[in-house]
């Protein structure tokens, strides 16, 4: 049994691609790749790596909260950076969203669309 989870600020009239913001399956939430998106307008908000990381993490946090969990329940993240040289600056912001035990993580350099600098997906234990 699966249940779709949507970002609470997603405007209903904005249709995304063929994916859900998150899917609950059993005791896990799988959050699709998130970026620096304003969900009320469905537009990317480009900025520094720090700004985009913060907005991306806030979007993840909203989806995780909508599923009844919190960021300390995140067990795995996959991070795509458009420029791996941004890693230290990205990591400084990213790490502030977790207390105690940090999630397992893979970070790679990837070609990202729309000029975004970071995309993150995660798995959450509910």
Domain positions in the chain are 2-125
What local confidence, expressed as pLDDT, does residue 15 receive?
61
pLDDT at 14 over 70: no
pLDDT at 12 over 70: no
Rounded Cα distance, 67 and 94, in Å: 21
**Residue scoring higher pLDDT (13 or 55):** 55
**Residue scoring higher pLDDT (10 or 43):** 43
Residue-by-residue DSSP string for 55-84: HHHHHHHHHHHHTT--GGGEEEEEEEES-G
Hey, how many other C-beta atoms are within 10 angstroms of the C-beta on 21? 21
What local confidence, expressed as pLDDT, does residue 19 receive?
84
How does pLDDT run across 15-62, given as a tens digit for each residue? Answer: 667 789 999 999 999 999 999 999 888 899 999 999 999 999 999 999
Q: Contact at 8 Å (CB) between 100 and 72?
A: yes
CATH class of the 2-125 domain in this structure: alpha beta
What local confidence, expressed as pLDDT, does residue 16 receive?
65
């Amino acid at each position: 049994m699966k249940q779709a989870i949507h970002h609470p600020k997603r405007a209903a009239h904005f249709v995304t691609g063929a994916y859900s913001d998150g899917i609950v399956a059993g005791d896990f939430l799988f959050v699709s790749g998130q970026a620096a998106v304003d969900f009320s307008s469905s537009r990317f908000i480009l900025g520094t790596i720090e700004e985009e990381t913060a907005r991306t993490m806030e979007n993840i946090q909203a989806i995780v909260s909508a599923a009844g969990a919190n960021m300390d329940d995140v067990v795995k993240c996959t991070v795509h950076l458009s420029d791996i040289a941004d890693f230290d600056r990205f990591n400084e912001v990213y790490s502030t969203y977790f207390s105690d035990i940090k999630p397992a993580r893979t970070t790679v350099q990837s070609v990202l669309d729309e000029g975004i600098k970071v995309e993150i997906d995660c798995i959450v234990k509910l």
